[in-house]
A and B are shown apart, each in its own frame.
Chain A
Amino acid sequence: MKIFRSHVLVCGGTGCSSSNSALIKQRFEEKIKELNLDEEIQVVSTGCFGLCEEGPIVIIYPEGSFYARMTVERVDEICEEHLLKGRIVRKYLFDESAREEKIKPLSEVEFYKKQKRVALRNCGVINPEDISEYIARDGYMALGKVLTEMTPTEVIQLVKDSGLKGRGGAGFSTGMKWSFAAPNQADQKYVICNADEGDPGAFMDRSVLEGDPHAVLEAMAIAGYAIGATKGFIYVRAEYPIAVHRLEIAIKQAKETGLLGKNLFNSGFDFDVEIRLGAGAFVCGEETALMQSIEGKRGMSRNKPPFPANKGLWGKPTIINNVETLANVPQIILNGPGWFKSFGTVKSPGTKVFALGGKINNTGLVEVPMGTALREVIYDIGGGCPNNKEFKAVQTGGPSGGCLTKDHLDIPIDYDNLTAVGSMMGSGGMIVMDEDNCMVDIARFFLDFTVDESCGKCTPCREGTKRMLEILDKITEGKGTMEDLDKLEKLAINIKETSLCGLGQTAPNPVLSTLKYFRDEYEAHVLEKRCPAGVCQSLLRYIITMDCKGCTKCARICPVGAIEGKVKEIHVINQDKCIKCGACMDACTFHAIIKK
């Protein structure tokens, strides 16, 4: 292997890629070549570093210099100063690391300090398109160990002992799942990796696949050995082109290296993996719908039992594990269940990856030990709400989860705790909301999503969510009644209790949790016809204040002629005519028009 004195790691995750990190990488390569340093310095495209807010990110080793918000224009200077002359360009470094005299190493930066990276251990570290880099980080050692030293029963026992729970949302014991499928006799069994990450704002699985695809492949082979399956499918969304591309490369390289295919590690065990692309239906993340989709059918949930472990893909015993769950497996095999249980809580060992989004300073991907308080994630790692706005709520679990308040901030995050307060772990989406968010509007947003994404099979989910949405529309338009709130709750409970699959059973959670914790906001909409956060358009009024100079600009710009007033006199908006387009407010030079 060639030795380089310096490595330039350029983030090649979806976030940074969409801010042109590929061009940055290209410029680095060109400039390094110009400076005749290409024999000494290697440029590597990696997976996600996590701190997407500061992207595109470039990290230069051995110094570990964290260049944030990179642009193509800055590349030449960094090459000449840092790479050629060895002088770190402080002005382009991530603020926090350059704030003090001594440059902070990455591990000391607040964003990373409280994180524990297990599933993400290779993301942002290795080149995901080179199997040798994965192998250099102990890759495929776990598979080797399993195939040469352990029986399938021992593997399952080990995974059971680790207490690993499914990271896709429901939190079912992974070892138990495997143990259900293992004893079933069949001519073919399957291992499916569920990479149909669909929650709005969630991108944990995408990042793992983009940054460390081999970890998933290795884990699938281990799972295959444990249950006696020789065939695996990765069901991944077509909307994740980078992940799909890297998976394709990874599968090809693993096959060429003999780490997938026939007779792995001379053990006589065969395992092969194929990719199946999802066409973007949210419900296909539900395991029974996912299997239908792999079979080439319309993705629709079916009743369980039979569980996939007994009758799964094409009627054969099948296990379905989420990407993040699988990414933990090789580490558990190598380091043992004791190691894994040293993180997290007794009932939920290990770590969990969250996608932080919404009104938060450090948007990005974080991995923390289970049991970390929401407060630590949102404030210490996430940096709190931007612009000193007041934190109002955090939504976990996507469309299936609920909204939690500041009273819940000290809850240690784990499956049971979140469920107990009416939300759920979900796959790890975490959307932060501040005082400017209307909770009725948020509930409406998630419901709007489920109304579209229900598979349409069962009555409560297909019809019920639509009626809930209609009621919420009514409320946000200021036409709601108190009776509507009761109806909403009644419907929500019915949908929860009688829907066929997890999608419907959890779809009302955003509404139920906001009704519970933010009832005052609903009541303000209904009783006072007021949206406290100033979000719901129909409930807003544009008003001209005493600051008006009578310039007539607003009256001229109003598309419906709702503003009246004489020159140099205070103007008035006719509320009956006003269509609340906001054009007057944008046009007013004196900030005399306000929204109330």
Chain B
Amino acid sequence: MDKVNVTINGITVNVPKDYTVLMAAREAGIDIPTLCFLKDINEIAACRVCVVEVDVKGVPMRNLPASCVLQVQDGMNVRTNTPKVRSAVKMNVELILANHNRECLTCLRNGTCELQKLCDELGIDDIEFQGAKREAKIDNLSYSIVRDSSKCILCGRCVSTCRDVQGIGILDFTKRGFKTEVAPAFDFSMKDVPCVYCGQCIQACPVAALRERSYIDDVWDAIDDPEKFVVVQTAPAVRASLGEEFGYPVGTDVTGKMVAALKRLGFDKVFDTNFSADLTILEEGTELLSRVTNGGKLPMITSCSPGWIRYCELNYPEFLDNLSTCKSPQQMFGAIVKSYYAEKEGIDPSKIVSVSVMPCTSKKTEANRPEMEVDGYRDVDYSLTTRELGDMIKRARISFTKLPDEHTDSILGDYTGAGAIFGATGGVMEAALRTVADILTGKDLDSIEYQAVRGIEGVKEASVVLPIGGVDTEVKVAVAHGTANAAKVLESVKAGEKDYHFIEVMACPGGCVHGGGQSHVSAKARLDVNPKINRANALYELDRSLPKRKSHKNPEVMKLYEDYLKEPNGHLSHKLLHTHYVKRDSYIVEQEEEFAKMLEKLDK
């Protein structure tokens, strides 16, 4: 790439010519403020907070251009700290604030709000232009996501993320001028639109306009109820992000402290979803082998990610039979707790409250799917996000950083490295291959790291030669993360271009480590740190440190089969651990009359 010389505030830097002024300024050690900018996702020059004064070879550019989209030119002279720029940036932030619900002290994002931080950095001490505010609406009807228009600053980060990263596009700008807002079509509730509740919009949101629906109070109530036996499971990816809530670098594994904190919060038993991840491998691996050998529907596609399941039900119903019938590890865990565990410990399952901590917002909706129960007992009663757990720990005044490392409880707390890596894209595939390869070869293989399925490339492919029915067969697999990438893979399968045996799909880019429930990493911090990579590395590190790294070596899981389930995909497994899927309509219109009225209104 050709390079050009650009001078920023008197500092000359030599940068590739496709750089923006914003990126060039970083090279010069100058931090231009941004708000709507989300690298590679939302570069739309909308907030006008990154404006600069520029001249090119002595000729001043008209007005104040936005540095986030302004491409560098040789001989460009940029000034970011002139009275004109300072005043313009300040005024634009003030204009945003004037139309923002400024209840910062009682806001969920107090402390992690990017707008709040910007105000601090820019020294906003007064909002000169006050006046009317946009109509405030709160939509908290879905199980997963709350939309609060009074907080929305119309940066468009969620819009671009949903549309371009996820390929879904349920959020967009609606109305015009001062009345502009970001909303689903027809101002429908998030519960009635083809949202998969992945929560990537929450991850993109710099403020609290999009946030998870909180179940913290329900969980406190359960803990405080002496009649209830409250058990908690934590998903693989949570441990790689929870520390960020307490100042640890992005991607620090805090398993021990997390367990200690959960015990101090008052949960009766602290278990681990890693356990049921191992269990999933046995069920799903067995299902795969049976499909391959018995001519079942292929490719088989993983079903751990509820966002993905919903996406498939909404957009690719023709692939429903390809989905593994296995419940997700969250649901499997819940089902086991209220059956096997209750029976073993002699606890009345109606007294058990099953709580999960997930990196995910879609898990909240999954837990509430009507079919997710056995004998009338809900698999999971409340699903919390990593952030909610962080909040609970803070509210309980637990000094997280000073906690000792503690261990999960038996008999549902043991896990292998294979379960641990579920949180990263490719992790389920790798865990499955470890077990399937052992079973098919009848050996305890040493080579267990499948590098081809690791990393953050959108679609990954690999093939392994394994003996199936005595014949060496090339088993072809694919891994996709982010629903847009999932669509690509499905389209290639549909077109007959690809023929895989097994596909792993995670709804979130990077997999669960970058789920919608994980700790917020600001747009600015993401320029230096990639949470997808850092958190995945933490999980692979954990995997390497564990004595057992294959799911079928998990002693507690094997004991579960021995004592209770008898065999993978057996009768009891089917009752407890497997589920079914349905084709879903995209826009639910409960009252047709209302819809007709709406159309009429549009016609006018």
Q: Which residues of A are interface residues toward B (Cβ below 8 A)?
A: 281, 283, 298, 300, 302-303, 305, 450-460, 462-467, 470, 487, 490-491, 494, 496-500, 505
Q: Are B46 and A500 in contact (CB under 8 A)?
A: yes
Q: Give, as a whole number of angstroms, the nearest-CB distance from A487 to chain B.
A: 7
With A298-B173, A491-B129, A494-B88 in contact, is A460–B63 under 8 Å at CB?
Answer: no
A300 and B154 alpha carbons, distance in the complex (Å): 13
The 6 closest A-B pairs by CB, nearest first: A456-B180, A463-B95, A467-B129, A470-B131, A466-B178, A454-B177
Q: Are B154 and A462 in contact (CB under 8 A)?
A: yes
Selected A-B contacts with CB under 8 Å, 6 pairs: A298-B172, A455-B180, A456-B176, A456-B178, A491-B129, A500-B45
Q: Give, as a whole number of angstroms, the nearest-CB distance from A294 to chain B.
A: 17
Q: Could you say which residues of chain B place their CB within 8 Å of the CB of A462?
A: 154, 177-178, 180
Q: Are A457 and B63 in contact (CB under 8 A)?
A: no
Q: Are B66 and A456 in contact (CB under 8 A)?
A: no
Q: Could you say which residues of chain A place their CB within 8 Å of the CB of B180?
A: 454-457, 462
Total number of residue pairs linking A and B with CB closer than 8 Å: 110
Q: Give, as a whole number of angstroms, the nearest-CB distance from A198 to chain B.
A: 12
Q: Give, as a whole number of angstroms, the nearest-CB distance from B176 to chain A.
A: 6
Q: Are A496 and B63 in contact (CB under 8 A)?
A: yes
* Chain B 48-70 interface 0/1 with A at a Cβ cutoff of 8 Å (1 = within): 11010000000000011010010
Additional A-B contact list (10), CB under 8 Å, known A457-B180, A460-B95, A494-B88: A302-B45, A454-B180, A456-B175, A458-B47, A459-B92, A459-B96, A464-B95, A466-B177, A494-B92, A497-B51
Q: Are A458 and B177 in contact (CB under 8 A)?
A: no
Q: Which residue of A lies closest to B45 (CB)?
A: A303
A305 and B45 alpha carbons, distance in the complex (Å): 12
A459 and B95 alpha carbons, distance in the complex (Å): 7
A interface, by DSSP: helix, strand, loop or mixed? helix
Q: Give, as a whole number of angstroms, the nearest-CB distance from A359 to chain B.
A: 28
Q: Are A498 and B48 in contact (CB under 8 A)?
A: yes
Q: Are B129 and A455 in contact (CB under 8 A)?
A: no
Q: Could you say which residues of chain B place their CB within 8 Å of the CB of A457?
A: 44, 46, 154, 156, 173, 180
Q: Could you say which residues of chain B place their CB within 8 Å of the CB of A302?
A: 44-45
A547 and B176 alpha carbons, distance in the complex (Å): 51
A490 and B95 alpha carbons, distance in the complex (Å): 13
A451 and B176 alpha carbons, distance in the complex (Å): 9
Q: Could you say which residues of chain A place their CB within 8 Å of the CB of B63?
A: 496-499, 505
Q: Which residue of A lies closest to B156 (CB)?
A: A457
Q: Is B392 located at the chain interface by the 8 A CB criterion?
A: no
A531 and B71 alpha carbons, distance in the complex (Å): 49
Q: Could you say which residues of chain A place their CB within 8 Å of the CB of B49?
A: 459
Q: Is B161 located at the chain interface by the 8 A CB criterion?
A: no
* Chain B 174-214 interface 0/1 with A at a Cβ cutoff of 8 Å (1 = within): 01111110000000000000000000000000000000000
Q: Are A452 and B176 in contact (CB under 8 A)?
A: yes
Q: Are A456 and B154 in contact (CB under 8 A)?
A: yes
Q: Is B280 located at the chain interface by the 8 A CB criterion?
A: no
Q: Is B472 located at the chain interface by the 8 A CB criterion?
A: no
Q: Which residue of A lies closest to B66 (CB)?
A: A303
Q: Are A451 and B177 in contact (CB under 8 A)?
A: yes
Q: Could you say which residues of chain B place their CB within 8 Å of the CB of A496?
A: 63
Q: Give, as a whole number of angstroms, the nearest-CB distance from A413 to chain B.
A: 23
Q: Is B77 located at the chain interface by the 8 A CB criterion?
A: no
A300 and B49 alpha carbons, distance in the complex (Å): 19
A463 and B46 alpha carbons, distance in the complex (Å): 12
Which of A303, A458, A460, A467 contacts B131, CB < 8 Å? A467
Q: Is B128 located at the chain interface by the 8 A CB criterion?
A: yes
Q: Could you say which residues of chain B place their CB within 8 Å of the CB of A303?
A: 44-45, 66, 69
With A498-B63, A505-B63 in contact, is A467–B95 under 8 Å at CB?
Answer: yes
Q: Is B98 located at the chain interface by the 8 A CB criterion?
A: yes
